[in-house]
Amino acid sequence: MLSDAMLEPFQLPFVQRALLELLLLAVAAGTLGCWIVLRGLAFPAHGAAAAAFPGLVLADGLGFAATLGGFGAALLFALAVGRLAVRGDEADPREDTLTALVLVAALATGIVLASDVFHAAASVESLLFGSLLAIGPGDVRLAAAAALVALAATRLLGTRWLATGFDARSARALGVRSAIPDTLLLVLVALVAVATLTAVGALLATALLVVPAATTRLISDRIASWQLATVALAAVEGTFGIWLAVELNAPPGATIAVVAGAVFALVALMPRTQAVAA
Amino acid sequence: MSALVAADGLAVGYGPSLPVLTGVTFELDRGERIAVLGPNGGGKTTLFRALLGELRPAAGALRASARCASVPQTERSRLDFPVSALDVVLMGTIPTRPWWRRPSRADRAAARSALARVALADLAERTYGELSGGQRQRVLIARALVQQAAVLLLDEPFTGLDATSAARLEELLRELAVEGHGVLIATHDLEHARRWDRVLCVNGRQVAFGEPSSTLTHDVLAATYGGAIVTLPGEDPAAPHHAILPPHHHEH
């Protein structure tokens, strides 16, 4: 049957593991992605993922856990530069420039470290664009942890993130303390960005972190339904992307990114009675 | 009866040596509506921030015996946010509970009650950005009411409203005053100010405080706004009307 033939790639153990990884990342990135889009953190989230790249190379070269190195670098970036973007009406215009500078510096440093210091140029491609079909159990555990933390943080801190983003100055006047919740949001961005790296790589992390949430934002008018739709869309795009990558023998991370981008374009071009944009 | 708010020789600003506003002495009683007039940059927002506890007095005394709540301009809030009118009012309940608790049933009931008080119960589930300017302003008043605030600080609430919405909002403020709230309204609209109980004029310092008849005079307004006032011919040549030229936006 045609359907059996279509499902054949999912019989392969490494594809099944990749699918599990992507479904967990859909929960983590789908939930957090809505806060990233709503709070204007798309570029800093991209920067955090890129900043993780030299951290991964350095950790790998020095012989300690690559994930730890990546998370440390992403966290450093998120807290140093991302905090400029998270302050709502006090957003610092330097944030965009700083993000761009750090992004370039991180990529350049990572490539120099990988090729000239640690002679690990072969792994650069997988660090930048992911290696979804070659992930290990540790990657799946990290994705599961990221999903749990993203869900818990949304439940506990969501109303505060919402109030601060809605009107930061009024939130302060209301007595809403935003410093700790906003810092935790940045920590979470770094954590989920690092969790996505093995799947889609430092350069394509926004395919999971931002693009699905930006797509469903076009058709959602409440946080809860938006997050549910984003998780579902990220899961569908990921599943279809893996299948397509196996069928076409294409890189899975890049294929998922292309699928996500195409879906965004389709939804954006759909006629709507009233446009909703973040 | 003690005043809800009392300022005595108050100076306040953004550093001990940089007071934006000095010499402020006034009282706000229950049931009273006070217009706060002054040019942009004259200290209206600074005064409100001091009343909210965000700025400490650099000199003098400021005493508030009741909770003050801010009702900002609706333009400050994100109209594209995926929130309902009820969600916005519920934001007023956040400081009343520990950070790990979500809004309770009682919080939701209080928020719905506050929306009913501003005659928006039917629009509780409507997206905030889809409401009219007057409705959005009333949602923000409901958010202040749900905080159990006795003092409402409104920042130019009539800006951008059509005549019907402005009249409805003014009636709501009158009703809230009758119910015992004290209301401070930063405005440039002399016609509104004329109908309220007292007027506080500021321009870096307190220029005047008193009833509209004694404060909305040419001399006081000239000292408050400088060259930004114009005199309009009225029906009674002995009592010409004054108006304030549209200000450029600048906050202090």
Q: How far apart are CA A252 and CA A261, in angstroms?
A: 14
- Which one has a higher pLDDT value, A123 or B108? B108
Of A169, A174, A278, the CB nearest to B94: A174
What number of C-beta contacts closer than 8 Å exist between A and B?
A: 75
Q: How many domains does chain A have?
A: 1
Q: If you average pLDDT over residues A115-121, what whole number do you get?
A: 69
- Which one has a higher pLDDT value, A93 or A265? A265
Q: DSSP readout, chain B?
A: ---SEEEEEEEEESSTT-EEEEEEEEEE-TT-EEEEE--TTSSHHHHHHHHTTSS-EEEEEEEESS-EEEE--GGGS-TTSS-BHHHHHHGGGGGGS-TTPPP-HHHHHHHHHHHHHTT-GGGTTSBGGGS-HHHHHHHHHHHHHTTT-SEEEEESTTTT--HHHHHHHHHHHHHHHHTT-EEEEEE--HHHHHTSSEEEEESSBEEEEE-HHHHSSHHHHHHHHGGGEEEE--SSTTS-EEEEPPPPP---
User: pLDDT of A230-262, one tens digit each?
Assistant: 999 999 999 999 999 999 999 999 999 999 999
Q: If you average pLDDT over residues B31-36, what whole number do you get?
A: 95
Of A79-88, A215-224, B66-75, give the lowest mean pLDDT range: A79-88
Q: Is the pLDDT score of B188 beyond 60?
A: yes
φ and ψ at residue A102, rounded to 5 degrees: -65, -40
Under an 8 A CB cutoff, do A169 and B76 touch? Answer: yes
Has domain B1-66+150-214 been given CATH number 3.40.50.2300? no
> Residue A186's closest CA among A278, A97, A80?
A80
Q: Is the pLDDT score of A118 beyond 70?
A: no
- Mean pLDDT over each residue of chain B, to the nearest integer: 87
Nearest Cα residue in chain A from B145: A174
Of A71-80, A173-182, B89-98, B164-173, give the lowest mean pLDDT range: A173-182
Domain hosting A265: range is 2-269
Q: If you average pLDDT over residues B168-188, what whole number do you get?
A: 94
State residue B160's pLDDT score.
83
Chain B: closest CA distance from residue A100 (Å): 26
Give the model's confidence band at A88: pLDDT under 50 very low, under 70 low, under 90 confident, else very high: low
Q: What is the 3-state secondary structure (H, E, C) of B184-249?
A: EEEECCHHHHHCCCEEEEECCEEEEEECHHHHCCHHHHHHHHHHHEEEECCCCCCCCEEEECCCCC
State residue B86's pLDDT score.
96
**B249 interfacial to chain A (CB closer than 8 Å):** no
Contacts with B189 (C-beta within 8 Å, 6 or more apart), sequence order: B158
For residue A197, give the amino acid letter: L
Of B81, B83, B95, the CB nearest to A174: B95
Q: Is the pLDDT score of A276 beyond 70?
A: no
Chain A residues with beta carbon closer than 8 angstroms to that of B91? 159, 162-163, 166, 171, 174, 176
Q: Is the pLDDT score of A275 beyond 70?
A: no
State residue B250's pLDDT score.
47
State residue B32's pLDDT score.
95
Chain A: closest CA distance from residue B92 (Å): 6
Domain of residue A26, CATH code: 1.10.3470.10
Nearest Cα residue in chain A from B91: A163
State residue A277's pLDDT score.
42
Q: How far apart are CA B31 and CA A180, in angstroms?
A: 38
**B95 interfacial to chain A (CB closer than 8 Å):** yes
Chain A: closest CA distance from residue B141 (Å): 12
Under an 8 A CB cutoff, do A176 and B94 touch? Answer: yes
B202 DSSP β-pair partners: B206
Q: How far apart are CA B86 and CA B90, in angstroms?
A: 6
Of B91, B99, B127, the CB nearest to A166: B91
| Dihedral (CA of A264, A145, A13, A198) sign | positive
Residue A278 within any structural domain of the chain: no
State residue A80's pLDDT score.
82
Q: How far apart are CA B179 and CA B171, in angstroms?
A: 12
Q: Is the pLDDT score of B19 beyond 80?
A: yes
> Residue B119's closest CA among B54, B65, B66, B165?
B165
Residue A39 within any structural domain of the chain: yes
Residue A43 within any structural domain of the chain: yes
Q: Is the ipTM of this complex over 0.90?
A: no
Under an 8 A CB cutoff, do A173 and B94 touch? Answer: no
Domain ranges of chain B: 1-66+150-214, 77-148
Of A190-194, B100-104, B109-113, B248-252, give the lowest mean pLDDT range: B248-252
Under an 8 A CB cutoff, do B94 and A165 touch? Answer: no
User: pLDDT of B206-252, one tens digit each?
Assistant: 999 999 999 998 888 888 887 666 555 555 555 556 666 655 544 45
Residue A277 within any structural domain of the chain: no
- When scoring A35, A154, A161, A162 by the number of chain B Cβ atoms within 10 A, the one with the most, hence best to mutate, is A162
Nearest Cα residue in chain A from B73: A170
Alpha carbon distances (Å) from A136 to A198, A257, B91, B105, B107: 9, 21, 43, 45, 46
Work out whether strand B33-37 and strand B198-202 pair parallel, antiparallel, or are unpaired: parallel
pTM of structure: 0.84
State residue B100's pLDDT score.
80
Q: Is the pLDDT score of A98 beyond 90?
A: no
**B92 interfacial to chain A (CB closer than 8 Å):** yes
Give the model's confidence band at A175: pLDDT under 50 very low, under 70 low, under 90 confident, else very high: confident
Q: Which residue blocks in chain A are alpha helix, DSSP H?
A: 2-7, 13-38, 42-62, 66-77, 83-85, 94-112, 124-129, 137-166, 168-174, 179-200, 206-209, 211-217, 223-248, 252-269
User: pLDDT of B51-64, one tens digit each?
Assistant: 998 899 999 999 99
State residue B249's pLDDT score.
47
Under an 8 A CB cutoff, do B77 and A170 touch? Answer: yes
Nearest Cα residue in chain A from B92: A174
Of A225-234, A259-268, B41-50, give the lowest mean pLDDT range: B41-50
**B78 interfacial to chain A (CB closer than 8 Å):** yes
Q: Are B200 and B213 in contact (CB under 8 A)?
A: no
Please report where in the chains the tokens 């430092």 appear, as a residue.
A202
